[in-house]
Amino acid sequence: MDLSFQAPGEHNFIRSISPQGITIGDITYSQSLVLTAHQLLTNWTPQRFEDLQATDLECLFRLEPELILLGTGSKQQFPPAKFMMEFYQRGIGIEVMATAPACRTFNVLVAESRQVLAALLPAT
């Protein structure tokens, strides 16, 4: 699914998402990603929703976003309540959705200059 054909400005944007991966700019990534307006981390450990551990959240919190979009793969899956409490206790918003909607939402929010972070699991 193509999301954007033109770079909207001086920030990261997701151009498309498919079973082959997520295209940011002109590069397609098939692994999990952590993405902000100006950072791209390609070494986020979990590759499937079932792999997600509480320790995987620490690198997200260190980036100090106001909102985290958690893309859980091809379908929406909610982490345990204890994971969700970590976000609320730190005052960080969290939205959990399938990866494709998380990509679309990221593009909209980053274009609005929001301090958003997308933690995206592959949508395969």
Instruction: Tell me the per-residue pLDDT of 61-113, one tens digit each, with 9 for 90 and over.
Output: 999 999 999 999 999 999 999 999 999 999 999 999 999 999 999 999 999 99
Return phi, psi of residue 83, to 5°. Answer: -70, -45
- Topology of the domain comprising 14-120: Hypothetical Protein Mth938; Chain: A, (3.40.1230)
What are 18-48's pLDDT values in tens digits? 989 999 989 999 999 999 999 999 999 999 9
Query: What is the residue-wise DSSP string for 27-92?
Result: EEE-S-EEE-SS-EE---S-SSGGG--GGGGHHHHHT--SEEEEE-SSS--PPPHHHHHHHHHHT-
Supply 93's token pair: 């918003």
Which one is predicted more confidently, 2 or 33? 33
Task: Domain ranges for the chain, please list them.
Answer: 14-120
Q: If pLDDT is split at 50, 70 and 90, which confidence band does 9 have?
A: low
Higher pLDDT, 13 or 6: 13
Q: Which comes out higher in pLDDT, residue 1 or 26?
A: 26
Give the number of residues written for the chain: 124
Question: What was the pLDDT predicted at 4?
Answer: 47
* Token pair listed for 119: 């933690």
User: How much is the pLDDT for 5?
Assistant: 45
